[in-house]
Amino acid sequence: MILDGKHVLITGGTGSLGQQIVRRLLTGEMGTPSKIVVFSRDEAKQHYMRLSYLNRKEATDEVIYRNFRQLLSFRIGDVRDYSSVLQAVREADVIIHAAALKQVPSCEYFPFQAVQTNILGPQNIVRAVRENDTKVEMVIGISTDKACKPINVMGMTKSIMERVFVEANIDCPHTRFACVRYGNVIASRGSVVPLFLDQIANGGPVTVTLAEMTRFLLSLDQAVDTVFAALEHALPGETYIPKVAAARMVDLAEVVINGRDIPIQYIGIRPGEKIHEIMVSEEECYRTIERGDYYAIAPMLPELHSATIDKPALSSAYSSENVTLDHQGLRELLADYLAGAQTRVAA
């Protein structure tokens, strides 16, 4: 299997996505790595993540906990700091780059902080691979739908991150760089569903920006599936896009409220927000192919083109404006997550 015997480095490994990637890697579904290294700057999150494994005494069908002592290790470091990045990259075979500043309003108020983390961080990874005798075989960068035709700082910096990794395939021909791009992860830290539940627990109101606002929605496991699909199948410079559902945010709010006497309050667009998100632009359509449950966008640079695309997979933008989920569809999508969350709200 693709990760058998590989040293896997996960930057931002203490985030919601990073932690789920670690759980999934420990199941062995991608093979058995020789080492999994969580690289992040937050020692508290690393401490509690380590304890969460130490306190599990038995293997479950979800995670092979008995293996974590041999496989999983933690490294304090910041992607902004080249020397700490280099130390982590030296031993890696595979890098999953999830470290980022991802909150849209925060990036609007602190744009250069976003530049340092979301652009200089990836560049430090590329530099470490390019300028040193590393054994890195592949790098997967985690991007966002906001990087497509961006209007906010977070999206702009993530769009440049994509280009940094695409171009790295030319500078580092022995390493495969690719990206994944997706929408709102339902249960991730800072996402809208946990916000709605907190607001409900406090008696409301549930705040929605605009009645027309739509978003792509996917589960944390769907996000990890996309990363794993790119690891296995993405060609150099490709961007992988999952085929996922889209919904109106007001419908999502109504499903989470679930008939309770909680009002919805419209508060207007926050700094940097779009009404609809786009995962593939109309300009990218002509170089997009279908690959199973994913779209793959070929790189813009002609040096990296592997073949001519005779029949593009899309004829128009892949936009959340094309809503696919009604209330019932949202209930089904959120069922597993809300089952536990509603219990916590009631308590």
* Nearest-angstrom CA–CA distance, 128 and 7: 16
For residue 299, whether the previous peptide bond is cis, meaning omega lies within 30 degrees of 0, is no
Any idea how long the chain is? 347
* Tokens standing for residue 44: 């508290």
* Tokens standing for residue 259: 């008939």
Which candidate in 6, 102, 146, 274 is catalytic?
A: 146
Annotated catalytic residue 146:
yes
* Nearest-angstrom CA–CA distance, 67 and 69: 6
* Nearest-angstrom CA–CA distance, 176 and 166: 9
Q: Which region holds residue 185: left if phi is over 0, alpha if psi is between -120 and 50, else beta?
A: beta
C-alpha distances in Å from residue 163, one per residue of 86, 119, 121, 141, 262: 21, 10, 13, 10, 44
* Nearest-angstrom CA–CA distance, 325 and 345: 25
* Tokens standing for residue 118: 């979301």
Burial label for 304, CB within 10 Å (0-12, 13-18, 19+), is middle
The H or E element spanning position 11 is strand 7-11
Alpha helices (H) in the chain, listed in sequence order: 16-26, 43-54, 68-71, 82-89, 104-109, 111-115, 121-131, 153-171, 192-201, 220-233, 249-257, 327-346
* Tokens standing for residue 239: 């961007």
**Catalytic residues, which ones?**
146
